[in-house]
């Protein structure tokens, strides 16, 4: 068979079915077994949840990098470049490695039909093995119990971030049902970190932990987050013994994500014989240096333009609370692009009190909600105007309102489209004030 180019590899992988006929955990188990279990010599931190998985992953990888632990990070979806999904110490996998590993995987007969996600996970674990990673931070794709990543075995540390209503057609229509799917990654022999949850979700998580005889459980309690402030585009806070922590990540929800990452890192580093004093230094530096594109990310300061991948009710509620906290008394221009299967009515309601107006976009996806329909839903509320965004040119600094801030939010695919457009434009126009 002729060797495929990088572009051909991506085309084949990305056009695999989104969902297979068998659970992803079963398919990936077969694949990984045939590939010699590439994950077997790596310590793993496994992360599930509705919101915050990517941020917690980014915090943890930054902390472990500071500790000198070579760490792979597997996340999804990507914003701009497929290679974002597979990183080692913050650096994306090379095009050459994607091409080599992709050709090998596509030629292999696994006795089943993998999805795109199955191929991505296998590629990531092979790459981490080749790079001799000591640790891997693995984010679930959808749910947990049946997710492809649940084939990795028993992780050293398991983290469950905020659970909310999302993917209800697959995971269930109540919090306890959704939590039961997420709880499927909790296994005997792991140590567990939980973000705060609604009672129905927390009960399921703790019952699962008891059933699996998990001996160490830590809960990120927001009451332990104190002295929060925002200065010059950065946030500062204290958490338990860690005083005046600094982070570039914006949003009040990032305090809890950082706290969860701190607790998981404490467990992970202690198990490797690292002293509390050194661990505190690595945690402090790691939190400060963490970057995560597309999450309350400021693309332009003058005029102000921020993007955020808030794509469900919980995410938009966190965005609204953050905007109120960081910019009290202000109102904003919102640009919105979402999928039709999301609770977009709830998302609109959250932001209406903060809105000057809305512009809507049809995301490039067959699952997208049409911009015209979305704008009609907003106008029906009778509170503010809503029109269509005709081109991303309208979001360039020279076209934005200098008197009020502009916030684009919604699907990560939409945020990725904006990020790519900004990157392409700034390659040509060097005098834009982009940060």
My answer on whether 414 and 311 are in the same domain is yes
Which of 289, 309, 338 is where one domain is finished?
A: 289
Please give the radius of gyration of the chain, using alpha carbons only, rounded to the nearest integer.
Answer: 21
My answer on whether 215 and 344 are in the same domain is no
Which of 289, 319, 351 is where one domain is finished?
A: 289
d(CA 101, CA 241): 44
Closest by Cα among 77, 68, 74 to 127: 74
My answer on whether 263 and 390 are in the same domain is no
Least confident of 3-7, 20-24, 343-347, 408-412: 20-24
SS3 305: strand
Which of 260, 289, 318 is where one domain is finished?
A: 289
d(CA 407, CA 41): 43
User: Which phi and psi angles does 427 have, rounded to 5°?
Assistant: -70, -30
Residue 418 belongs to some domain of the structure: yes
Residue 432 has pLDDT above 70, yes or no: no
My answer on whether 285 and 164 are in the same domain is yes
Task: Render pLDDT for 51-95 as a digit per residue (tens, 0 to 9).
Answer: 899 999 999 999 999 999 999 999 998 999 999 999 999 999 999
* Residues 92, 10 contacting (CB under 8 angstroms): no
My answer on whether 55 and 191 are in the same domain is yes
Q: What is the pLDDT of residue 185?
A: 98
My answer on whether 351 and 254 are in the same domain is no
d(CA 294, CA 408): 10
DSSP state of 4: P
d(CA 79, CA 109): 30
DSSP state of 363: -
**% of the chain beyond a pLDDT of 70:** 96
316, 317, 318, 322: CA torsion to nearest 10:
100
Mean pLDDT of 372-400: 90
* Helix or strand run (H / E) with residue 14: helix 6-14
* Per-residue H/E/C for 51-111: ECHHHHHHHHHHHHHHCCCCEEEECCCCCCCHHHHEEECCEECCHHHHHHHHHHHHHCCCC
* Residues 304, 406 contacting (CB under 8 angstroms): yes
Residue 330 belongs to some domain of the structure: yes
- Residue, of 173 and 307, whose pLDDT is higher: 307
Q: What is the pLDDT of residue 190?
A: 98
My answer on whether 274 and 304 are in the same domain is no
Indicate which CATH number applies to the domain containing 324.
3.90.190.20
Residue 169's pLDDT band (cuts 50, 70, 90): low
SS3 157: strand
Residue 170 has pLDDT above 90, yes or no: no
SS3 410: strand
- Burial class (CB within 10 angstroms; exposed 0-12, middle 13-18, buried 19+) of 223: exposed
Residue 344 belongs to some domain of the structure: yes
d(CA 427, CA 435): 14
My answer on whether 307 and 427 are in the same domain is yes
d(CA 233, CA 249): 9
Residue 345 belongs to some domain of the structure: yes
Residue 430 has pLDDT above 70, yes or no: no
Q: In the predicted model, what is the mean pLDDT of the chain?
A: 93
- Stated pTM of the model: 0.91
Residue 1 belongs to some domain of the structure: no
My answer on whether 47 and 107 are in the same domain is yes
Mean pLDDT of 1-26: 88
Tokens of 377: 């839903």
* Residues 161, 48 contacting (CB under 8 angstroms): yes
Indicate which CATH number applies to the domain containing 20.
3.40.1190.10
Task: Render pLDDT for 283-303 as a digit per residue (tens, 0 to 9).
Answer: 999 999 999 899 999 999 999
Task: Render pLDDT for 152-168 as a digit per residue (tens, 0 to 9).
Answer: 999 999 999 999 887 65
Structural domain boundaries enclosing 361: 297-433
Residue 381 belongs to some domain of the structure: yes
Beta strands in 153-304 (DSSP E): 157-160, 191-195, 217-220, 225-231, 234-239, 242-247, 297-300
**% of the chain beyond a pLDDT of 90:** 83
Q: What is the pLDDT of residue 431?
A: 44
* Residues 157, 268 contacting (CB under 8 angstroms): yes
Residue 435 has pLDDT above 50, yes or no: no
**Core vs surface per residue 65-94: b (16+ CB within 10 A) or e:** bbbebbbbbbbbbbbbebbbbbbbbeebbe
Residue 153 belongs to some domain of the structure: yes
């Amino acid at each position: 068979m002729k060797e495929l180019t990088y572009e051909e590899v991506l085309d084949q992988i990305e056009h695999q079915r989104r969902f297979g006929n068998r659970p992803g955990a079963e398919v990936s188990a077969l694949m990984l077994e045939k590939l010699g279990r590439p994950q077997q010599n790596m310590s793993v931190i496994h992360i599930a949840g509705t919101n915050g998985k990517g941020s917690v992953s980014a915090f943890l990888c930054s902390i472990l990098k500071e500790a000198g632990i070579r760490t792979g990070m597997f996340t999804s979806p990507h914003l701009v470049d497929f290679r974002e999904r597979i990183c080692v110490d913050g650096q994306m996998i090379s095009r050459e490695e994607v091409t080599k590993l992709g050709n090998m995987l596509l030629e292999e007969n696994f006795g089943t039909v993998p999805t795109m996600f199955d191929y991505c996970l296998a590629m990531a674990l092979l790459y981490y093995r080749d790079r001799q990673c000591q640790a891997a931070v693995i984010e679930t794709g959808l749910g947990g119990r049946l997710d492809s990543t649940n084939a990795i075995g028993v992780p050293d540390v398991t983290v469950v971030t905020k659970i909310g209503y999302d993917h209800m057609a697959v995971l269930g229509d109540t919090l306890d049902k959704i939590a039961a799917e997420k709880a499927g990654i909790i296994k005997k022999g792991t140590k567990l970190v939980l973000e705060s949850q609604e009672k129905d979700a927390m009960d399921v998580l703790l019952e699962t932990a008891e059933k699996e005889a998990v001996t160490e459980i830590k809960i990120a309690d927001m009451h332990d987050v104190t002295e929060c402030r925002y200065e010059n585009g950065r946030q500062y806070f204290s958490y338990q013994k860690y005083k005046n922590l600094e982070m570039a990540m914006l949003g009040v929800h990032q305090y809890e994500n950082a706290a969860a990452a701190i607790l998981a890192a404490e467990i992970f580093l202690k198990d490797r014989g690292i002293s509390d004093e050194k661990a505190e230094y690595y945690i402090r530096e790691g939190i400060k240096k963490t970057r995560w594109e597309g999450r309350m990310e400021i693309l332009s300061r003058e005029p102000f333009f921020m993007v955020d991948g808030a794509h469900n009710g919980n995410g938009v509620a966190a965005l609204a609370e953050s905007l109120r906290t960081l910019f009290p008394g202000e109102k904003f221009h919102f640009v919105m692009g979402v999928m039709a299967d999301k609770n977009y009515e709830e998302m609109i309601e959250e932001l209406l009190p903060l809105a000057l107006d809305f512009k809507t976009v049809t995301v490039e996806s067959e699952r997208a909600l049409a911009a015209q329909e979305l704008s009609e839903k907003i106008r029906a509320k009778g509170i503010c105007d809503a029109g269509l965004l005709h081109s991303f040119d309208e979001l360039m600094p020279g076209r934005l309102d200098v008197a009020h801030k502009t916030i684009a939010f919604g699907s990560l695919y939409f945020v990725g489209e904006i990020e790519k457009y900004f990157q392409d434009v700034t390659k040509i126009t060097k005098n834009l004030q982009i940060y």
